[in-house]
Amino acid sequence: MNGRRAGTGFASRASGYAILLAAFGALSGCSTQLPPPGTPPEERFQWALDKYNEGKYGDAAKGFVDFVQRAPTSPRVDSALYLVGESYLRGGDQLRAATEFNRFASTRPNSPLADDAQLGACRAYWELSPSLARDQEYTRQAIEECTRMLQFFPASPRRAEADSLLREARDKIAAKQYRVGKYYFDQRFYESANIYFEVVVEEHPDAPVMPDVLATLYESYRKLGFDAEAEHAKQRLLTEHPDSEAARKLAPADGS
């Protein structure tokens, strides 16, 4: 989290958070002893922040929401609402974190923490991204959230972080597409395999898996008797990835 900004005060616009506030009444572990009703707002905020810094993220989330509920006009409302999402994320509840970050970014787009929140949604979904063997819906969600961050907050100091996560997520999708295509290729379903390979070529030309994609696409087109398409894939591999292992293997095996 960006501590440079989250600890400072911002104007409150608490509308749109009624569902969030009500939901905390049904949270598990409601036995958390929050500060007494007469505790001043600044002490409430500090209590929640102390819990956050101690790694007690469930208590911290409840404390920050309690603070917002009792002091909706405080200049620290933005910080508290952002830290609700961050508490969920650090506590391992990435889906709830993504929901709260998205709520923040969409309802408070002019907040100095809006870009942090949008990036938080990207981070949350990326943490949920599974192994290549599994469905990549969360990876695609990470791509969507990171793309939105770059589009809506082009001047954000956290743009580089979003861009890095976006590249990682896109590379993972490319690797997944190649994995599926290679399965069809190994089963000799070459036309089906080529659909996946061509998607990588078209949508992920800079992915690390591209040399393997082009090499397998070359072989697949050869199996189908599409010599022109095969030669195009081969020349692209040799031209764009001449130092790759796939390129080094191709020429000797092809006798050229």
C-beta separation of 44 from 66 below 8 A: yes
Q: Is the pLDDT of residue 20 over 80?
A: no
pLDDT of residue 32: 73
pLDDT of residue 31: 61
Q: Is the pLDDT of residue 19 over 60?
A: no
Average pLDDT, the chain: 89
Quick one: pLDDT band at residue 216, thresholds 50, 70, 90?
very high
Min mean pLDDT across 19-33, 82-96, 231-245 is at 19-33
Amino acid in position 117? A
Which CATH number does the domain 3-157 belong to among 1.10.8.60, 3.40.640.10, 3.40.50.300, 1.25.40.10? 1.25.40.10
Q: How many helices (H) and strands (E) does the chain have?
A: 13, 0
pLDDT tens, 60-78? 999 999 999 999 999 999 9
pLDDT of residue 26: 40
Q: Which CATH class is domain 178-254?
A: mainly alpha
Quick one: pLDDT band at residue 250, thresholds 50, 70, 90?
confident
Name the pTM for this structure: 0.84
204 compared with 249, residue with greater pLDDT: 204
Q: Is the pLDDT of residue 224 over 70?
A: yes
Q: Do domains 3-157 and 178-254 have the same CATH topology?
A: yes
Q: Is the pLDDT of residue 143 over 90?
A: yes
pLDDT of residue 252: 59
Q: Is the pLDDT of residue 196 over 90?
A: yes
Place of tokens 């743009």: 159
Q: Where are the domains of the chain?
A: 3-157, 178-254
pLDDT tens, 67-113? 999 999 999 999 999 999 999 999 999 999 999 999 999 999 999 99
Half-sphere exposure of 217 (CA within 13 A, CB side): 28
